[in-house]
Amino acid sequence: MQRVVIIGGGQAGAHGAMHLRARGFMGEIHLVHAEPGLPYQRPPLSKTFILDESPPESLDFRPAGFYEKERITLHPTKAVAIDRARGEVQLGDGTGLAYDALILALGAAPRPLPGAPSSLLMLRTREDALRLRPRIAASREVLIVGGGFIGCELAAALAGAGRKVRLIEAQDEVMQGRVSPLTARLLREALEAEGVEVLRAARIAAWDEDGLGVRLADGRALRADLLLAATGVAPETALAAEAGLAVSPSGIEAGADFRILDPAIFAVGDCVFAHNLFAGGPVRLESVQHATDSARHVAELLLGASAPYRKVPWFWSDQGKRRLQIAGLIAGCDAFRIEGDPGAMSFSVYGYRGEELRCVESVNRPADHIRARKALTEALDAAS
């Protein structure tokens, strides 16, 4: 194996490259990184970075100089096509980059919202956050559309910074389907106690042209001096589809080892819809853990390892003073048990499928989370 090309310098791409080198890969590593600056982490964007004055480089995984020292060649451009017959990636700067192995770490992008104005503000990249900072600084009232993890994080952060926040959620509850009904309710009530007005089952019928207001299906008109959409992302699949690889709206289709139809190509991170041992079927996971672990797994395969991927998914979301940590997956859980003190915002919700523990959601209970990860990992190892 002479040359590994990784498309996408996000969480997965950068960690795949770093892992390959750290584990002794001697060949060339090329990282095609389309965003400005060096590869960086996204989680602080919705928690602290939009509000503070920290420089953009504070989010970088590694300082300038690291990539040169580790002989990881950064290509600051987009990959525009994959020529599988020639084993070459065509770059936006007009050059071609031959590969022996290709890793697609393309991530995901905010899902387009039908009828929304093009000026609508969303948060996925560091550039988005830098654009948002002065708008937030100048705002007093904020409308957030979408009560998923990022919408709830933004609501908590902005309310904590003194903004009047209204959170519009189309479903009956925030984070629906992502956490247990109990955890969702408790975290929503905590937001409300901090002054966030949460409008549930609130469907948007029309968007104001200027991107600062909406009309709900029940006729209510809502406006603010800042409106942010946090309505979820769709996996980046176009490049793979154009190269004739199997894709669906769920992502680039891959087997348990992130291998796709073409034996020289792998897909990792937010863009992949892969069979997952813990889930017992194909899933697309959006988390730092999955991006990092899937990329490291592929790096290990390229170095000759053959052990199957058997990681228990885990995730965290900081919502103001509340740190939610999730071990396992909520899908399929039919019974829940709570431990701790919800009134003091320190509790864990244990989710079961039948008798089997499948998911533990801990709020400000890091020790429970660590124990849960260990228990779920041991159970997975014992079962497979």
Ligand X SMILES: Cc1cc2nc3c(=O)[nH]c(=O)nc-3n(C[C@H](O)[C@H](O)[C@H](O)COP(=O)(O)OP(=O)(O)OC[C@H]3O[C@@H](n4cnc5c(N)ncnc54)[C@H](O)[C@@H]3O)c2cc1C
Rounded (5°) CA angle 38-39-43: 125
CB closer to ligand X out of 265 and 271: 271
Distance CA 369, CA 289 (A): 14
State the nearest-atom distance from the C-beta of 326 to ligand X, in Å. 9
Parallel/antiparallel/unpaired status of strands 197-199 and 346-353:
unpaired
Which residues ranging from 166 to 205 are in contact with ligand X (CB under 6 A)? Answer: none
State the nearest-atom distance from the C-beta of 313 to ligand X, in Å. 10
10 near ligand X (CB under 6 A):
yes
Distance CA 384, CA 382 (A): 6
Q: What is the DSSP letter of 221?
A: E
Judge residue 321's burial from the number of C-beta atoms within 10 Å of its C-beta, 0-12 exposed, 13-18 middle, 19 or more buried.
exposed
45 near ligand X (CB under 6 A):
yes
Rounded (to 5) percent helix, strand, coil in the chain: 25, 30, 40
291 near ligand X (CB under 6 A):
yes
CB closer to ligand X out of 101 and 108: 108
237 near ligand X (CB under 6 A):
no
Question: DSSP string spanning 314-382?
Answer: EEEEEETTEEEEEEE--TT--EEEEEEEGGGTEEEEEEEETTEEEEEEEES-HHHHHHHHHHHHHHHHH
363 near ligand X (CB under 6 A):
no
Which residues ranging from 21 to 40 are in contact with ligand X (CB under 6 A)? Answer: 32, 34-35
CB closer to ligand X out of 208 and 300: 300
CB closer to ligand X out of 78 and 353: 78
Distance CA 58, CA 270 (A): 23
288 near ligand X (CB under 6 A):
yes
In the stretch 245-284, what mask flags binding to ligand X with x, by CB under 6 A?
Answer: ------------------------xxx-------------
State the nearest-atom distance from the C-beta of 234 to ligand X, in Å. 12
Which of 42, 297, 358, 369 is the binder for ligand X (CB under 6 A)? 42
CB closer to ligand X out of 316 and 336: 316
239 near ligand X (CB under 6 A):
yes
Helix axes 181-193, 149-160, angle to 10 degrees: 20
Give the pair of three-digit tokens for residue 201. 């089952």
| Alpha helices per DSSP H over the chain | 11-22, 66-69, 126-137, 149-160, 181-193, 238-242, 288-302, 366-383
81 near ligand X (CB under 6 A):
no
371 near ligand X (CB under 6 A):
no
17 near ligand X (CB under 6 A):
no
Distance CA 239, CA 63 (A): 29
Q: What is each CA distance from 215 to 28, 243, 274, 353, in whole angstroms?
A: 53, 41, 38, 40
State the nearest-atom distance from the C-beta of 182 to ligand X, in Å. 21
79 near ligand X (CB under 6 A):
yes
Q: Which residue minimizes CB distance to ligand X?
A: 10
In the stretch 145-164, what mask flags binding to ligand X with x, by CB under 6 A?
Answer: -----x--------------
5 near ligand X (CB under 6 A):
no
Which of 61, 316, 336, 352 is the binder for ligand X (CB under 6 A)? 316
Q: Which stretch binds ligand X (CB under 6 A): 41-49, 193-201, 247-255, 374-382?
A: 41-49
Distance CA 11, CA 15 (A): 6
Which residues ranging from 102 to 141 are in contact with ligand X (CB under 6 A)? Answer: 105-108, 123-124
State the nearest-atom distance from the C-beta of 121 to ligand X, in Å. 13
359 near ligand X (CB under 6 A):
no
Contact 282, 309 (CB under 8 A): no
Q: What is each CA distance from 20 to 29, 71, 312, in whole angstroms?
A: 8, 11, 22
CB closer to ligand X out of 146 and 269: 269
Contact footprint for ligand X (CB under 6 A):
7-13, 32, 34-35, 42-43, 45-46, 78-79, 105-108, 123-124, 150, 236, 239, 269-271, 286-289, 291, 315-317
